[in-house]
Structure 1
Amino acid sequence: MNPFTELLDATISVGGVPILWREIIGNAFGLASAYGGMKRVVWAWPVGIVGNLLLFTVFLGGVFNTPQALDLYGQAGRQVMFLIVSVYGWYQWSRARKRGLRESPETDPSRSIVTEPHEDTAAVQPRWATGRERLGLVIAGIVGTVGCAMIFSALGSWGPWADAWIFTGSVLATYGMARGWTEFWLIWIGVDIVGVPLLLTAGYYPSAVLYIVYGVFVIWGFTVWMKVHTKSGGTPEPERLHATV
C-alpha cells in the first residue's frame, strides 16, 4: 500500500466506530471555506475545492472502499456542483481582487472585495419570490426529486429518495440565492432536516455534525436577510430587482 492510499484509508475510532480522516478533514475544509466566504477572502474557494474533492470520495463509499461502503450519489453530486461553482467563484473573485489592487494599491491583497458595498450598490436585494416563482420552485423540487430518485435507485444509491431531495434542494437553494430569493434559506433548512438523519443512519457522523453547524448558519443567515428585507420596506418591484441582479 502506497502512502497516498494509506492517507485515503486512514481512520480514527470513535466509540468503536471507524471514521475516515478524509471525511473529518474534508468537512473541516468545508467549514473553513464557509468562514472565508463570510469574510470575503479569495482563499475560501481553493480551500472549498479541496474539501469537495475529499468528500466526493467519501460519499462514493462503495467505489472508494470506505468503512460505510455506501454510495450516496446525491451527496457526491453536490460536491461536483459545489466544485464547479467554486472554480467560477475563485476566478471571479481573483479578477475583482486584481482590479481592486490596480485601483487601490494599499488594499489588503488577500481580500476579494475592496470595500464594503453600499446598500444602494449591493449585488442583490433580498426579496420574497413571487407566487409564480414559488410555484416554479415547488414543481422543480418535485420533478427533480422524483427524477433523481429514479436515477439514484438505478445506480444503487443508499437512501435514494432522501439523497435525491438533498441534491435537488441544494441546486434550488443555490439558484434561489443567486436570484436573491429569501426562500433559499428555507430550502437549505429543508435539506438539513433530511440530511442529518440520512447521514447519521448511514454512519457519516462528521458530515452529519457539519450539517447541524450549517443549519445554525442558515438560521442566522435567514434572520439577517429578513432584517435587510424589512429595512428596505418590503418586497422590491420585480422590474427593479431584475435590473440589479
Structure 2
Amino acid sequence: MNALNWLNGPAFELFGQRVIRSDMIGNVIGLSALALGWRRSIWTWPAQLASGVILVAAYASAQLSGGVGKQLLVIGVACWGWTQWRRGRRDNGGQVTVRFATGRERALLTAGTVAGTLAVGGLFTAVPQMSWNPWPDAYIFVGTLAAMVAQARGLVEFWFAWVLVDLVGVPLAFSSGLAFSGLVYVIYFVLVLWGMRDWWLRSRTSASVPEGAPA
C-alpha cells in the first residue's frame, strides 16, 4: 500500500459516515494552524502549508475539484503569508502586530471576494466536472483566499472572513461525506470567535501601521 492509498483509507466512522485519514490528519493540523494564528505565531503558516498538502488528497478522494483547487491555493498563499510575517512589524512580545483594515483595504477585499466568487462560480458552472456544487464551492474557495490574505496582512478582518466561510463550509462538508471536516469547521467557528476577540483587543493597543506596509 502506497502513502496516498493509506491517507485515503478509513480511519473511523462519525455520524454514520466514514472518516478517511487524510481528512482527519489534514484538519487536525488545520486546527493547530488556526490556534497558532490566534497566538500570532509565525508557525501558523507552515502548519497551513502542511494541512493544505494533506487535504488535497482528501478532496481528491471525494471528487471535489473545487476543494482540491482551494487547497492548492492555500499552499501558495501560505508560502506568501509566511514571507509577509517574517518581514512584518512586531510588538514588544516579538509577535506580529495586528490592526483593522483601512477603508480602502476593506473595500478591495470585499470587491475582490465578490468578483472572485462570481468568476470561480461561473467557471465551476460551465465545467460541471470541477464541482458538483459550484456556488458554495466557489464561495468557500474565494472566501478562504480572502481570509488568508487578510491574515497575512495582520488584519482583524481575517476572522470575520473565516466566520462567513464557516457558515457555508459546515453544511457543505457534511453533505459531501467529509464528516470530520464538518466537525472541524464547527470547532473552527468557536476558535474563530475567540481569536476575533483577541485580535480585536490587541489591535486597540497596537502601534498604527502606514497603509500599504506589511502587518
The TM-score, its normalising length taken from structure 2, stands at: 0.79
Q: Does residue 1:133 correspond to 2:125, yes or no? A: no
**Aligned runs of 1:41-190 on 2, under 5 Å?**
47-61=47-61, 69-73=62-66, 75-87=67-79, 117-118=91-92, 123-130=96-103, 132-153=104-125, 154-156=127-129, 157-190=131-164
Structure 2 residues without counterparts, runs of 5 or longer: none
User: CA 1:127–1:158 in structure 2 vs 1: closer, same or farther (change >3 Å)?
Assistant: same
Give the direction of change, closer, same or farther, for the CA distance of 1:55–1:134 in structure 2 (3 Å limit). Answer: same
Who wins on radius of gyration, i.e. which is larger? 1
Residue 134 of structure 1, CA deviation: 2.8
Instruction: Provide closer, same or farther for how the CA distance between residues 146 and 55 of structure 1 changes in structure 2, counting only shifts above 3 A.
Output: same
Letter in 1 for 2:197: T
Q: 1:227 to 1:48 in 2, by over 3 A?
A: closer
Question: Structure 1 pair 144/10, CA: closer, same or farther in 2 (3 Å)?
Answer: same
Whether contact under 8 Å (1:72, 1:163) holds in the other structure is: no
Question: Relative to 1, partners in 2 of residues 1:48 and 1:124: Cα closer, same or farther, differing over 3 Å?
Answer: closer
Match of 2:169 among 190, 195, 198: 195
User: How many residues get paired?
Assistant: 209
Q: Alpha carbons of 1:194 and 1:224: their partners in 2 closer, same or farther (altered >3 Å)? A: same
Q: Deviations over 1:51-109 (max 9, x none)?
A: 32221111123xxxxxxx43241x2222212222444566788x89xxxxxxxxxxxxx
Matching residue of 2:183: 209
Where in structure 1 are there 5+ consecutive unaligned residues?
Answer: 62-68, 97-115
Residue identity opposite 1:78 in structure 2? K
Give the Å deviation of 1:190: 0.2
Partner of residue 112, structure 1: none
Higher RCO (Cα < 8 Å, 6 or more apart)? 2
